[in-house]
Structure formats: C-alpha cells, structure tokens
A and B are shown apart, each in its own frame.
Chain A
C-alpha cells in the first residue's frame, strides 16, 4: 500500500467510525426531556425494566386523586451497581419518591434525576445530571 492509499484508508475508516458513533451519541441524547426542570412525585414502583444502555421504571401514583402511571428512563444495571444498588433491591409496590426531568411533549414521565427508596437511600442518575444546564462544561460523563 502506498502512502496515498494508506491516507485514503485512514480517512474512510474515520468516516465509518463517525457514521456509527453519530447515532450512538443521538441515542444518549436528553433532547426529549426538559433538563432545566425537575418534578417531584411520590408513588409506588410498578415495574423496573432492566436493560442496557438504559433501564426504565414505571411509577404508579395518584394524579388529582386518580390512579395513574408514568414511565421514566434511567441508567443501566451497571450504573445502579456503581452506586451500591442491585436490581433485586427494587420491588413492585415499594413506596418511593421520584424526581425527574419531564417529557418536553407534555406526556407523563421523562428522565429520572433521583429516586429515593423507602429506607432513605437515594439513587442519582449521573448521566442525567451531566446533561442539565448547570452541569460542568465538558458534556455528559460517560458512565456506562
């Protein structure tokens, strides 16, 4: 391979990596949520759907006296384990307080900011925190 074709190969590789990395970055975007705002809601865990790179939690709560549910996106099982939580620590019916960044489209739910468990322990979503307007410069911290 001469120098010219070597440089061309490097450029093509860089382009290919860029194409792949683009959607991956978009996948981690918090554009769907109002990251400048948080809402606090007490309720019960209805379900945790564990997955990577994101899990989600369904909260059952009362909305003006009526039964309602909302789904919030959150970190992977590994992100939880880094803060000392195991998926098996979370049970259906656990009374929790959820703090979340609401959906910008106005529908219930959004992105989890913190989750306060019945025993007072608190999970903080570091990826969401890094995406808030007040976060230190440098963009989201890669946590997973």
Chain B
C-alpha cells in the first residue's frame, strides 16, 4: 500500500516533470503573424565596422559593384535579372510582407514577394547534407529560451548575401530570432565564410507586426516583362 510519504514524493516528482515541460513549452515564443521589415534596405550592414572581406572576397565584391554599374545584373544577381529566390540570408531584407507559420516542427516563412517560401527544420533530428546547394540552403533550428536559433548551410553561390555582397557555398548563416516586444521581431544574423571574410560578422534586422492579411498573387516575372515593355531595349 502506498504510504503518505511516497504519495507526496511521487506527486512532487510529477509536478517537477510537468512544470519543466510547461516552462519549456512557454519558452518557445510565438512568432506567428504578418511582418514587414522596419527600415527597408538593400544592404545588410554589420553592427560595427565594415564587412571584413578577405582579398578574394573583396575582389568578388568589387566585380559585383562593377557589374551593377554596367547594369549586367544577370552576371551577378539573378534575383534581380530573373526573379530567382534571393535565398538566405538576403530574404531577410525582403521589402514586402511575410507570414510566419510554426507548425509540425517546421517554421515556415511565407513571403509576399513572388510568393517565395523558406523553411526551418525544428525536428532536431540528424539530416543528410543536400547533394546540390540551393537558394535557401538547409536550415536547422532549435529554441534557446524564447530565441529561435537557426543555422543555414549549403547555400548556392548563385545567391548574394544582400544586393552586392557575395559568398561561397561554404557560407554558414546563424540567425537568432526573438520578439523584442509583441509587435517587434528581431533577426540577429551572423555570417561565416572563411574564403570571403576574415572573421564572422553580425547584422541585425528588425520587423514590425502587420495586420493579418491574405497576400495577393505576386508574379515577379510579370513585373520584369512589364518593365521590358515599358523600356524597349
């Protein structure tokens, strides 16, 4: 027969387990909703100093600056020339709204711009490296208290970090997403790519909550065609 002492002990243990689970669940913040960048910009600026380019990184960057001046976008920025996904981390600078979903151990970013999509795998299980680097790469995430920490690798060299800064397929992006207040979301990004940067560098982008909305269809290629028709080459 269960005596009082052991019943109390079991109760206390159950409470410890349940309370720990509840605390952990509460620690996972809820980012769901519609968001938009607070200060639109094309450049991902380091929180301090300049982008710490290596010689090879600076050479590739300077080449992009030259190509932009010549308007040869397809030679360095296929997002601008043919609506290809800006990829990670450049999607963080999307000028239009995006919606965050936290469902089924996946955090999904549903972008208004060309209806791009990006997902962070929160399952916490080992995954195989993708054979082919992709625009949004492979993003694995976990919760550290109320902060979502996502690490992205295997990003195609065909994307840029922002509208000019290049990277190699060895780039690693660590994002720390957290709510500063209920209506302000912060993304603290750290970029590592030893071939192009002498040290990791960090940038912060913030977003403001927007009214819930259904996003209309958005076809980037139609915009490009329209522009071509407006300005015949």
Contact = CB atoms under 8 A, between A and B. Distances in A.
A46 B76 CA distance: 10
Interface string B149-172: 000000001100000000011000
B153 to A, nearest CB: 11
Contact of B169 (A46, A77, A78, A88): A88
B157 A91 contact: yes
B131 to A, nearest CB: 5
Interface in A68-93: 77-78, 81, 86-88, 91-92
A55 B232 CA distance: 32
Given A47-B158, A91-B168, 15 more contacts: A46-B75, A50-B132, A77-B131, A77-B132, A78-B131, A81-B131, A86-B131, A87-B131, A87-B132, A87-B133, A88-B133, A88-B169, A91-B157, A92-B157, A92-B158
Contacts of A77: 131-132
A92 B131 CA distance: 18
The 7 closest A-B pairs by CB, nearest first: A50-B132, A88-B169, A87-B132, A77-B131, A77-B132, A88-B133, A81-B131
Nearest to A80: B131
Nearest to A89: B169
The bracket for how many chain B residues form the interface is under 10
10 contacts: A47-B158, A50-B132, A77-B132, A81-B131, A86-B131, A87-B132, A88-B133, A91-B157, A91-B168, A92-B158
Interface of A: 46-47, 50, 77-78, 81, 86-88, 91-92
Interface of B: 75, 131-133, 157-158, 168-169
Contacts of A91: 157, 168
Contacts of A78: 131
Nearest to B158: A47
Contacts of A81: 131
A91 B60 CA distance: 13
Contacts of A87: 131-133
A47 B133 CA distance: 13
Contacts of A46: 75
A88 B195 CA distance: 14
A87 B129 CA distance: 12
A62 B169 CA distance: 27
Nearest to B168: A91
Nearest to B166: A92
Most chain B CB within 10 A, of A46, A50, A78, is at A50
B133 to A, nearest CB: 6
A133 B75 CA distance: 37
A91 B157 CA distance: 8
B71 to A, nearest CB: 15
Contacts of A86: 131
Contacts of A92: 157-158
Nearest to A87: B132
Contacts of B168: 91
A97 to B, nearest CB: 21
A85 B157 CA distance: 17
Nearest to A55: B132
